[in-house]
Structure 1
Amino acid sequence: MRALVSKGVKWMRWSAITVSFGYISFNFIAEPILCSGSSMEPTLSDKDIILTERYSSVFIKSYNRNVQRGDVVVARCPANPNTLICKRVAAIAGDSVRHGFLSQQVIPRGHVWLTGDNTNYSTDSRDWGPIPIGLIVGKAVLKIWPFEDFQILDNKPKNSSKT
C-alpha cells in the first residue's frame, strides 16, 4: 500500500511541476499563437503558428523602449479585447503618420501604430488609431508552422501581394 501511495505522490509532484512549468512558460516567457486571416501575408498566412516572446513585455517596465518599428507583435484587438491580432509596428511614439489623404497624426507617448503587411485586407490602426502599448502581449519571433516555412521573423516586411 505504501508503494502505491508513494507512486501517487510522485505522480502528483511531477504533474504539479509540469503544469507550473507550462503556466510560467506560456504566461511569462513564450506562447504559440495560431494566426488567422490574410492581413499579414506574405509574412504570415492563415493557419500559421508563431511563437511569441513575452519576457520583455512582462518583466521590463520600459517595454515601450523595446518596441521598434518593423516588429511583428501580437496585441489585444482594441475593438474586441478578447481577440488577439498580429500586426507590424509601423510607427512608435513621436512618429508622424499620414492618416487619410490630408491629415497627419503624431503617435502619442505609450502608443504605437500597427498595420498589416497586406494593407488591402487589414483592419488596423488606420481604423482604430494609435494602439496603447499595454495591449501588446508579445513580440512574434518565430514562425513554427508549417514546418517547411519555419523562420525567424525579422523587422522587415516581405514584398506584399497587394493588388
Structure 2
Amino acid sequence: MATSNQLWNLAKNSITAALVGLTISDRYGSFMSVRGSSMSPTLNPDTRTTTSGGFRLDDLVLVEKLCLHSHRYKFSRGDIVVFRSPTNHKEKNVKRIVGLPGDLIHLSSFESKRVPDGHCWVVGDNSSCSMDSRSQGPIPLGLICGRVTHIVWPPQRFASLN
C-alpha cells in the first residue's frame, strides 16, 4: 500500500504535469478535430470515410498559437486559422484567410467590400457549404485562436499545411 508521502508526491507530480500541459495547450499549440466539409478538399476531403465501427474519420490538426503572442508574426493570405464564431463564442471554426485589413474583396462582378482595420476575410475551401465571411462579414483578428499548421490524423493524411 502506498504511504501518504508517496500519495502526496503523486498528487504534486500530477498537478505539475496538468499545469504544464495546460500552459503548453494555451500558449503554444493544441490539437483540434475538424468537423464538416467546408474546408474540403484541404481538410476532410471525404467526409463519408468511416471506420469499421461506423465512426467518421475527421482530420485532426495541429493548431499553432505562437502566432498570437509574437509581434513579428503577421497573418497572411492563405493561412488556415481557427477562430471563435462571431455569433457564438463557444463555437470554433476553421477557414482560410483570403483578405487582410485594407484589402478589397470582390464578392461578385458588381459588389466589393473593403476589409476594415483589425479584421480579416475568411472563406471555406468548399464554398458551396461554408458559413464564412460571405455570410458573417469580416472576422475580428481578436477572435483568431491559432493557425493550422499540420494534419496529424489519420496517419495516411499527415501533412504540413504551410
Query: Same fold per TM (> 0.5)?
Result: yes
Partner of 1:19: 18
Distance 1:9 1:80 in 2: 41
How do 1:52-67 residues align onto structure 2 when only pairs under 5 Å count? 52-57=63-68, 59-60=69-70, 62=71, 66-67=74-75
Partner of 1:134: 142
Alignment length (residue pairs): 150
Q: Match for 1:89 among 82, 87, 97? A: 97
Instruction: Tell me the amino acid that sits aligned with residue 35 of structure 1.
Output: V
Q: Against the structure 1 CA distance between its residues 153 and 92, is the aligned structure 2 distance closer, same or farther, given a 3 Å change threshold?
A: same
5+ residue gaps, structure 2, are 48-57
Partner of 1:28: 27
Distance 1:117 1:78 in 2: 20
Distance 2:151 2:116 in 1: 31
Pairwise CA distance, 1:5: 2.1
Distance 1:140 1:134 in 2: 16
Secondary structure of 1:11's partner?
Answer: helix
Partner of 2:55: none
How do 1:1-163 residues align onto structure 2 when only pairs under 5 Å count? 4-45=3-44, 46=47, 47-57=58-68, 59-60=69-70, 62=71, 66-154=74-162
Report sequence identity in percent: 33
Higher helix share: 1
Pairwise CA distance, 1:10: 1.3
What is the aligned-residue RMSD (CA, Å)?
1.6
| Structure 1: 4+ residue segments shifted above 2 A | none
Pairwise CA distance, 1:17: 1.3
Pairwise CA distance, 1:99: 2.4
* TM-score, L = length of structure 2: 0.87
Pairwise CA distance, 1:98: 1.2
* TM-score, L = length of structure 1: 0.86
Partner of 2:50: none
Distance 2:14 2:89 in 1: 32
